[in-house]
Amino acid sequence: MASVFHVATSGSDRADGCAERPFRTINRAAGVAQPGDTVVVHAGEYREWVKPRHGGLSDSRRITYEAAPGEHVVIKGSERVTGWEPLGGTVWRARVDNALFGSFNPFAEEVTGDWIVHRTGTPPKHLGEVYLNGLSFFEVGSRAEVEDPPRRTEVVDDWTGVTRPVGDPDQTRLVWYAEVGEQTTIWANFQGADPNTELVEINVRRSVFYPEQPHLDYITVRGFELAHAASPWAPPTADQPGLIGPGWAKGWVIEDNVIHDAKCSAISIGKEGSTGQNFSALRGDKPGYQYQLESVFAARRIGWDREHIGSHVIRRNTIYDCGQNAIVGHLGCAFSTIEDNHIHRIGLKREFYGYEIAGIKLHAAIDVVIRHNRIHDCSLGTWLDWQAQGTRVSRNVYHDNCRDLFVEVSHGPYLVEHNIFGSPAALELFSQGGAFVNNLICGTVRLEPVLDRATPYHLPHSTQVAGYAVIYGGDDRYVGNLFLGGDPGAAYATGAEGRGTPLGGTAGYDGHPASFAEYLARLDEQPPSDQKKYLDVKQPVYARANAYAAGARPFAGEREPWVLGAATVTVVAEGDAVWLVTDLPETFDEARVGVVTGRDLERVRCADADFEEPDGSPAVMGVDLVGEPRQPGRNGAVGPIAGLASGSRRTRVL
């Protein structure tokens, strides 16, 4: 018979955990909860790393951890520090006993690993953090910099080179520096605040809610505020612990939480360490690409499959102020659903840089659904890297990001439908085998083949590797999208003409064949060879019934494009509401398209697979961004809103 255990700040771990005699710590409840049990945590602040001891047995026999209804429960990986000594001006010093940290001292641990980029002349950053009334500081490299920190009003985005304003310039003057010896000494500039009367906290624990052993399945975490974790850099070639996550397991549900201030990643549904642990950075003998390729096969040997790993649900969470990712995963993310989350301010402090930073960063996102999320004010909204196959990006709103969606070295089939991409750099596709249906694409589209990295593809809806290949580019499909011209200068500070140049619309595909028959004919024209002729012939691109406005240009081989002329489209955020403000010409009312299904989309060439639902039936793109069904047999507007019409309009999209 299922039990309910209670936890309260007034409780005792020597109690029995009933409502009248609650436990004091969540970890005490985690030690006794069995499949089917529920742990109810009552209002208050809990400073602990919750380490589940047991998992559930099935979706109907879960272990559930939840905040008591209507009560605010905060779990933190930080501790409060008092006893600060004034050193003159606005600088203070604290000496912290190392016993506070145990065996893991974040102020001694560097942000490092595969694909981190250490700038020349800049000291490495650490996993430690200082917070003043919840606001995180910036780490500097010396005591002298603590005394006179600069005030930054703008910052250069590492990838695009575009200079962007800093959200809170005064926060950039809140700085700290630490030295670790027999004690940990922290110097901090509080800019006039008194740290002995204000709330000052420091990172102490690596995670807030994360198991220490694999295969603790079917756990639900619901309704908490989770904050302040010294989570390490999480590349796909290493263990990827986050502030919260299942580790290497199946069937977790993480829902209705507020999650913030992870040093690197907030929610991890990623890889474990036995299949690789930063070997490229540590050994220096092979590139990270090669170790990542090896990790795929190593994971298969330890049971990476649908029966044992993945199938997590991450929904209705608010995630913000994290250094690397809101959600990260490699391998362990397969078959998962990420929906109705609000993700913002990810990677914007720019204290460190590497090739793994995005609101959502997934590798091997096999049959992953990313649906109806709001993702904004991130260095990059979503990055699907390697093995995006069966992946569906559906009904999301992206705005005010440095870049919205990047799909890298994947073979598809992956499906992007009914989204708003509202940022200056909308799409980056270093990939092939995608289908883009009924999207609004306000910014530039950047295309690039990748001929020096062969990556795996899989049997449909499976982790079984079917083969691997390089990325020729193309083999993409566009139906019913609305493109705006975009401004390459606003999207990228540099960009020479030629390969990889960002453009508005699909004109970057000019020169590709417009059908599979034309592709085969071009191959036949090549000199006899096996592999070489495929390098010299562009893959086909299938485009029809897209609309282009404000200078966006169609692919030369597109069938029946609508070129509309002048138009303005803006995404406007007002509190929790997001509006699409449009001024479209009358000719937009002619740009109509019916319901698109997988049967309307050409088969992906390299992976030899169709666009399907996870059950193998043809995919159906029948619901628009605002939840209205597209009617079979009837045409709706191109773009993500079936009922959108010409003229000046204001449509609420979230």
pLDDT along the chain (654 residues), means of 10: 96 98 98 98 98 98 98 98 97 98 97 93 94 97 94 90 88 96 98 97 98 98 98 98 98 98 98 96 95 96 97 98 98 98 97 96 98 98 98 98 98 98 97 98 97 97 97 97 92 63 94 98 94 92 98 96 96 96 97 97 98 97 97 90 97 97
CATH superfamily of 219-652: Single-stranded right-handed beta-helix, Pectin lyase-like (2.160.20.10)
* Alpha carbon distance 245, 252 (integer Å): 8
Asked if 306 and 337 touch (Cβ cutoff 8 Å), the reply is: no
- Angle at the Cα of 591 (from 585 to 594), degrees rounded to 5? 150
Report pLDDT for 603.
Answer: 98
Q: Domain ranges in the chain? A: 4-59, 219-652
Strands 392-394 and 382-385: unpaired
Comparing C-alpha atoms, which of 312, 324, 277 is closest to residue 298? 277
DSSP string, 253-312: EEES-EEEEESSEEEE----GGG-SSHHHHH-SS-HHHHHHHHHHHHHHTT-STTTSB--
- Angle at the Cα of 558 (from 556 to 560), degrees rounded to 5? 125
For 193, left (φ over 0), alpha (ψ -120 to 50), or beta?
A: beta
Asked if 332 and 270 touch (Cβ cutoff 8 Å), the reply is: yes
Comparing C-alpha atoms, which of 527, 310, 504 is closest to residue 421? 504
For residue 55 the two structure tokens come to 């998992």
Report pLDDT for 358.
Answer: 98
- Other CB atoms within 10 Å distance of the CB of residue 91: 21
